[in-house]
A and B are shown apart, each in its own frame.
Chain A
Amino acid sequence: MTQFWFLLGNLLRVIGSRSGALFIVLILLIFSSGALFSSFFLLGTPAPDDAGPSLSADEVFVHLSPQLSQQKINDLYLKIREWEDVSQINYRYPQELGLEKAEGLLVIKAVSVAKVTELIDALSAIDGIAGVDSLSTRHADSLSAPVKIGLLIGLALSIVGSLIAARYAFAELLKAFSEEIRMMRLAGTAEQVIQPPIVAIGVLCGISAGLLLIVAIYLLRFLAITYPETLLHAASGCVNPARVLTVSLVGFLLGLVLGGLAGVLGASLTESSKFQVYS
């Protein structure tokens, strides 16, 4: 391990302005790949016609069980009305909302968009509630086919772009480190010692891009919740914190994998004749 950290430190020290700029491009391209991937799960407008009556970001529709008596519905109404996260609650007949159902429903308005998820969790735990409907639960598959194709093409291009940028960034870095590599080859330093720190540089780029992606996703969620009227309908997946967390983690992993691949590509460049003692 001592050799790994020593060489990693030496590699980081030889990053110059040109290779540094290329590594920033690499990080941004990996970030783009992660962002395009995340878009599939976070962007999009819910389709009210398919999923039910239109509702705003801070609204929750509570579908009541047909077995509930009027008395129990009244009790439930009064109980929920007292909750801190609820700003308004109304009983609606299905016909009012154009639903072909016998049972009625409660339309609850949360005090803020950020409280919707907690409200859904609390409501789901109550007996007599057949289902809960909100913007976040309707998000699935809300992107149109042309948008999906565009995102897929963008994702493929950014992955290819990342690998091309990695090729140039590592070539530039290794040019500045070529004498060190030759000296190691002369000394009998094994390839298993020379290559891992180079792979680690790629992994570091992937980690940077992944962290950037997490910040961007949570920033988008914050903005979507703060300005629901302008943003939430375009990024309805951001309402659900579990979805945001999962997408962030998977996006981070994607960044890590792409960074690792970039590093492996970079390490393979050391096999080139330029870095041999006799070329």
Chain B
Amino acid sequence: MIQLSELQFLSEDGIKVLDDVHLRVDRGELVFLTGPAAAGKTILLGLVATQIPPQNGQILVHGRNIARLSRKKAFQLRRQIGFIPQRFSPLPKTVLDNVIFKLRTLGDFREQAEEKALAALEMVSLTRKLAASATEIEPIDRVRLAFAVAICNDPLLLLFDEPFEELSADDRSKVCSLLEEIHLRGFTILVTTRNPLPSLIEKYRVVQLLDGKVKEG
């Protein structure tokens, strides 16, 4: 599903953020990418999500080389990636309308979008807050909403950047359970985190990004 080879990335001021990164994530896998702050996790996710233009190395997502994609093909690939960036900020709309917004801009009609949005919100257990203002919900519900937005159009790959950030230990554990549930539905998921991982996720593959390189385990 994801294949990174000899990936390099230099920041604007010439600092090596990623240096000869090799990483493979297979279809249906749930992988945690850990590392300290400013290790390059967000850059790596941004590259895979086609949001940051690649510099050196090869990035294959779903068999397609990102560097060689036309603008149109890159947009098509983005539609198959449910990407939630760090500190996801919802739209100043209701919870339901946040999910509907994404689906409508991707071309769904109102009824179709509403149906898919309700299914996604049900999957993340947020149907009780459909009419709540998304900017006023609790942090844990904000993460649930982010997940719903990511999965609503049934993408092939999910990329979550620091979903545990600013959550209590209890809420982190709930998010882990939610990730497991989503994973069980067949999604391929890559999650970055720098917070200590709750014991639940020890059964999944964890890779570490340190000094610009990826290390397993």
Binding site for B on A (CB under 8 A): 2-3, 6-7, 10, 179-180, 183-191, 193, 276-278
Which of B20-28, B85-93, B202-210 is near enough to bind chain A?
B85-93
Give min CB distance, A175 to chain B, whole Å. Answer: 13
Which positions 57-101 of chain B face chain A at CB distance < 8 Å? 71-72, 75-81, 83-85, 89-92, 101
Task: Report B-chain residues with C-beta under 8 Å of the C-beta of A180.
Answer: 91, 101
24 residue pairs from A and B, CB less than 8 Å apart: A2-B104, A3-B104, A6-B104, A6-B105, A7-B105, A179-B89, A179-B92, A180-B91, A183-B91, A183-B102, A183-B149, A187-B105, A188-B77, A188-B79, A188-B106, A189-B75, A189-B105, A190-B72, A190-B75, A193-B105, A277-B51, A277-B85, A278-B52, A278-B85
Task: Report A-chain residues with C-beta under 8 Å of the C-beta of B81.
Answer: 188
Nearest to B52 among chain A residues (CB) is A278
Give min CB distance, A192 to chain B, whole Å. Answer: 9
- Majority secondary structure, A binding face: helix
Q: Does residue B107 face the partner (Cβ distance < 8 Å to A)?
A: yes
In the complex, what distance in Å separates the CA atom of A7 from the CA atom of B102? 11
Interchain CB contact under 8 A, A186 and B51: yes
Nearest to A176 among chain B residues (CB) is B92
Q: Does residue B46 face the partner (Cβ distance < 8 Å to A)?
A: yes
Interchain CB contact under 8 A, B51 and A179: no
In the complex, what distance in Å separates the CA atom of A277 from the CA atom of B79? 15
In the complex, what distance in Å separates the CA atom of A3 from the CA atom of B104? 6
In the complex, what distance in Å separates the CA atom of A7 from the CA atom of B105? 7
Number of interface residues of B (CB under 8 A): 30
Interchain CB contact under 8 A, B104 and A186: no
In the complex, what distance in Å separates the CA atom of A10 from the CA atom of B84? 22
Give min CB distance, A229 to chain B, whole Å. Answer: 59
Interchain CB contact under 8 A, A277 and B46: yes
Task: Report B-chain residues with C-beta under 8 Å of the C-beta of A2.
Answer: 104, 107-109
Task: Report A-chain residues with C-beta under 8 Å of the C-beta of B108.
Answer: 2
Q: Does residue B153 face the partner (Cβ distance < 8 Å to A)?
A: yes
Task: Report A-chain residues with C-beta under 8 Å of the C-beta of B153.
Answer: 187
Give min CB distance, B9 to chain A, whole Å. Answer: 12
In the complex, what distance in Å separates the CA atom of A3 from the CA atom of B153? 15
In the complex, what distance in Å separates the CA atom of A10 from the CA atom of B105? 11
Given contacts A3-B107, A189-B75, contact A183 B101 (CB under 8 A): yes
Give min CB distance, B73 to chain A, whole Å. Answer: 11
